[in-house]
Structure 1
Amino acid sequence: MTLDLAERRARRANGLPGPSASENQHWALRVLTSPWTWVTLGLTAIYAGCLWWMYSTSIRATVLEEGVIPGLNPSAIRRAAQLAWPTLLAWVVVFVCLDRFRPMRTLLWWLAVGWGGAVATALSMMINTWAGQHLSIVGEGDPASGARTAVFIAPFVEEATKATVLFGIAIVLRYRLVSRIQAAALAGLSAAGFAFTENILYYSRVIVYSSTTIEAGDPQAALNEIVLLRGLKTAFGHPLFTILTAIGLIIALRARSKVVRIIAPLAGYLLAALAHMVFNFFASVGMDANVMAVIGWIIALSLAFHLIRQVLAEGRRHRDRLGDYVMMGWLPPEAVVAFSRQRTRWASLRNAVSYGWRPLMATFRLQRAMSELAQLRDAQVRGAIDEAGDGRARELLATAHALWPVAITDPKAQRFQFPKIPNPLRRLRRRRQMTPAPTASMPLGSPVYSPVDPRWGPPKG
């Protein structure tokens, strides 16, 4: 399907994608010609460069007027990474499971985690150090040693660097970023990557300091204390703050008012920086860690409850918007139940696994097409997309009609097919039944005798 110049411009103005021309190409050719392949490779190289810069900077000793701060060593960094990765893994599982109905690409998940763990951390390290030096703050701009830097500089710098990837995705793929759960998932992944790298630096410093300074006491006890504090008690910090920025951004993307589109992201960012500032202030003044953990996790659970409500609201939005297409006669009535309930979608994918690769991929593509169709209709109802979305809706409907006969849409009728285990006894019994019985000792006309009785015939006379 080709589009004329006016329609291409209209779609570009609304952020709508054009028809895919690579569906019939070989998968290797699609991978090589996809811009996502080269964007991922380029950003991965940048991530590796940022990590190497932080590593080379951290292992060098820092000379201050008060003395020399020893650099980190590879063994301490490896030990710290082993202690930091469980927290990262837990957050990745949480936010990937949160991104439902129309999950983002796996590459976007990786780009978000890598950005937070490499680029945002490196930028924050450079800017914090530069700002601390120019403001003549004790501690060389390091939030671990300069309380004023941690309170007045680090929150604004870190929240800006972590959220940069969200604004980049919103600029390039604003049509794909449509719900709060999507924005919260990407923001949480970026924050989890940031916290992972930051925890490695903090744990490594404790390992090196406690092993070289006798006043530190038991090195293992000091390490266990900071791992419990940063890895569990206050692990909510970075994800909670960055999600506040993401909520402001998604409110702006879904709003028609230009004023809201400008103010909402700024308000979300300032709220995140303020919350981060308050957190660092209480940590700097020596507030009890258990009290901070209780207050912080209560706020985090309140935000989690809000996001769960957003997941349920997304299901209702799918039901209403797909119902519009049912009323217009473009979709069958069973489409509303099949694609607006998350448990039904999961059951369809689970059952599709037993039918083979082709039904599984058809089910997955059909669910994504229906989610995009529902969100496209919702954007048109809100006025965020004009009549240029009608062409994209026709493409999605054509894709749905082509995939429907192959995909699994009713898990109650199309049940999971368990593999058939061969039964040798049943096969032997069937073979014995098919073997003809001996006829020498059987009387003619016996019920078990297969040939017709030759004496049978029509009545005489």
Structure 2
Amino acid sequence: MAEHPLSMPPAERGNGWQQLMTFQPGAPTPPNATRRPLIRRILLWSLVVVGFGLAALVMGLLVTESLGLVTAGLAIATAAIALGIVVPTFLWVDRLEAEPARLLWFAFLWGALISTLGALVLNELGLAFFGGLHADPMVVGAVVVAPVAEELAKGLGVLLIFLMARREFNGITDGIVYAGLVAAGFAFTENILYLGAAYTEVGTPGLVGLFVLRCLVSPFAHPMFTVCTGLALGWAAHRRRASSAGVVLLGYLGAVSLHALWNYSAVAAAESFLLVFAVVQLPLFVAFLLMLRWATRRESRLLRDLLTGYGLNGWFTPAEVAMLADPGERRRARAWARTAGGRRAERAMEAFQDESGELAMVRKHINSQGTDAHWAAREQALLDTITAHRRVFVPGL
């Protein structure tokens, strides 16, 4: 059995480099001994596609029936503007160790389709449950029913990713990204319904006014709530202990509480919106931005610490470790590669950076769970491709 890369004694470290120098990127991958994993993946993703397709059909029928085709198209185009603000923000948070595109799409579509349908059903059931009470249905619906139902529907999507793709759910930053994209999808569909209704009832002034409030003033409202659940699941992924289940419940309750506070401030004090926005909603938003900043800095430190071990064993230079842990330096490195070797070198540098981030997460798993065949093979494969991509933008290495 080959020795683990970080356990190689210094005298043998050169042999590892010589083996990598003979690595052939175009060499065929050995076939899988069994096709069962492939069949399972095909069946699983087929179910996902069918489920999302049916949900999209139902949601499309609901939207066009309630708004009409022309109004629905106008609302979709208007609501999409907020996506141009929210989605790039979470991709920016995810830039050091990018998550697989299929899971990011799953998160967004879960929020846009499954969560919205589930929340519609749960909201109706909740309002029916409280219907016999002598309470304002608008306040009960906005402050009690909606936060509980919507955060449950959104949080289930993040939980599914946590359970079904544990190898891609590596900690707090991942929880923030997945939760943020689920919430972005949910807010997108909800905005379509609200904007379309405003245009139907009031016309263009109603559409523009609600667009400013929901898409420009508070586009991060739903992500801000659901990120509490994502943070808790990220903490559970980091700790890898059964006792973390209580933290997940606290995260969900935090999401519900923030959602309820936000809705209450909007419903109970609608006549003094600017004051409530300045006192309640703006501080919450600032705290949310500070949390995103903290998460990115934390991941940068984690990346640097984990890759330093590989650097000490000869896999990275100190300059490479410093570059990989700094987003600004990563951008400058890609620009340098493009200048030095064209688009091919820039793509190789981008792959080098992405694979190094993935390597750090693999090392994190190995440190916390011990080495097994899967993680050892994944680590070696990443080291091979990292070295091969380095030769593209540093010829002759």
* TM more than 0.5: yes
Pick from 107, 114, 120: which aligns with 1:112?
Answer: 107
Who is 2:7 aligned against?
Answer: none
Distance 2:388 2:131 in 1: 66
Who is 1:208 aligned against?
Answer: 200
Pick from 129, 139, 142: which aligns with 2:124?
Answer: 129
Distance 1:180 1:154 in 2: 26
Distance 1:256 1:53 in 2: 38
Q: Structure 1: which 5+ runs fail to align?
A: 3-20, 26-32, 61-70, 211-218, 415-461
TM-superposition CA deviations, 1:229-253 (whole Å, max 9, x none): 2222333310100111111110111
The residue identity in structure 2 corresponding to 1:363 is M
Q: 1:360 to 1:307 in 2, by over 3 A?
A: same
Pick from 26, 31, 51: which aligns with 1:46?
Answer: 51
The residue identity in structure 1 corresponding to 2:107 is A
TM-superposition CA deviations, 1:228-279 (whole Å, max 9, x none): 22222333310100111111110111015431x2111111111001111122
User: How many Å apart are 1:350 and its aligned residue?
Assistant: 2.9
More helix by share: 2
Distance 1:96 1:350 in 2: 20
Distance 1:23 1:283 in 2: 60
Who is 1:421 aligned against?
Answer: none
Q: 1:393 to 1:50 in 2, by over 3 A?
A: closer
> What pairs up with 1:2-21 in 2 under 5 angstroms?
none
User: How many Å apart are 1:166 and its aligned residue?
Assistant: 1.5
Who is 2:283 aligned against?
Answer: 298
Is residue 2:273 matched to residue 1:281? no
Structure ranking higher on relative contact order (CA contacts 8 Å, 6+ apart): 2
User: How many Å apart are 1:346 and its aligned residue?
Assistant: 2.0
Distance 2:252 2:63 in 1: 29
Distance 1:135 1:197 in 2: 26
Q: 1:201 to 1:321 in 2, by over 3 A?
A: same
Structure 2 SS opposite 1:101: coil
Who is 2:242 aligned against?
Answer: 258
Distance 2:332 2:225 in 1: 34
Q: In the comparison of the two structures, how many residue pairs are matched?
A: 359
Who is 1:343 aligned against?
Answer: 328
Who is 1:365 aligned against?
Answer: 351
Pick from 362, 367, 390: which aligns with 1:376?
Answer: 362
Larger Rg: 1
Is residue 2:163 matched to residue 1:171? yes
Structure 2 SS opposite 1:104: coil
Who is 2:70 aligned against?
Answer: 75
> What pairs up with 1:215-234 in 2 under 5 angstroms?
219-234=203-218
RMSD of Structure 2 on Structure 1 (CA): 3.2
Pick from 181, 187, 212: which aligns with 1:189?
Answer: 181
Structure 2 SS opposite 1:235: coil
Who is 2:221 aligned against?
Answer: 237
Distance 2:219 2:296 in 1: 23
User: How many Å apart are 1:158 and its aligned residue?
Assistant: 0.7
Q: 1:361 to 1:234 in 2, by over 3 A?
A: closer
User: How many Å apart are 1:39 and its aligned residue?
Assistant: 5.8
Q: 1:41 to 1:22 in 2, by over 3 A?
A: farther
Who is 1:419 aligned against?
Answer: none
> What pairs up with 1:438-453 in 2 under 5 angstroms?
none
User: How many Å apart are 1:348 and its aligned residue?
Assistant: 2.5
* Contact 1:236/1:297, CA 8 A, preserved across alignment: no
Q: Structure 2: which 5+ runs fail to align?
A: 3-24, 30-37
